[in-house]
Amino acid sequence: MSRNRFETFLPVKTVSSSWSFLRKTEQEALFSSIVFVRASQEQLDEIRRTKGVVNFLYWLNAPAVISQQDIAGIREFLSRHNQVQTVHVPVRMSDSNDRSAVTAAADLKVAHVQNTERVLLASLGYMLVAPVQQPKAVPAREVPMIYPYFRYTDAG
C-alpha cells in the first residue's frame, strides 16, 4: 500500500523466544492482521482492491476511524517500550448514539500500575501494557577514611 502512496502504519512489538540454547528476538505485529491506513472516503475502494487487503475493521456498520491521538499514543508508547502486550477492553458508548462519543476517548490516559505502564486506546478498544524497569538503588559509597601513616624511613 505504500507503493500506492497511502500513509500506512504497522505497529510492531519485540518478542523473545528461547530454544534449547538459543535466544531469539523477533518483531511481530502489535495488533494481528491490522494495518492502519490514512485514507479519504473516496480512496476506500482503491484500498479494497489492493492485493492482500481482506476488508476494513468496522464499527457500527461503518469503517472504523481511529483518532490521530491514539495513533500518536501508540507511536510514542512503542518508542519508550519494547515488550508491549495488548489487552482487549470493552468500549462503552455515551448516552447519545453518536459514533464519536466513545467514553474516555477525549484524552490519552497513561497509568502506572504494579510496575507496568498502561495506555488506554479508547477508539480501538485496546489497552497497551508494558513492564517498567525500576531503577536499582545504588548504595551510597562510603568515602574511605584517610589515615596518616609513617614510612619506615620517617620513623627515626
For residue 18, the surrounding DSSP H or E stretch is strand 12-18
Domain extent listing, the chain: 7-131
Is the pLDDT assigned to residue 128 strictly greater than 80? yes
CA neighbours within 13 Å on the CB side: how many for 69? Answer: 12
pTM: 0.66
Question: How far apart are the C-alpha atoms of 10 and 8, rounded to whole Å?
Answer: 7
Instruction: Read off the pLDDT of residues 66-103 as tens digits, 9 standing for 90 and up.
Output: 888 888 888 888 888 888 888 888 776 655 544 444 44
- Mean pLDDT for 32-52 is 85
Residue 40: name the closest of 63, 11, 71 by CA: 63
Is the pLDDT assigned to residue 155 strictly greater than 70? no
Burial of 127 (0-12, 13-18, 19+ CB in 10 A): middle
Query: What local confidence, expressed as pLDDT, does residue 103 receive?
Result: 41
Please give the single-letter amino acid code of residue 80: R
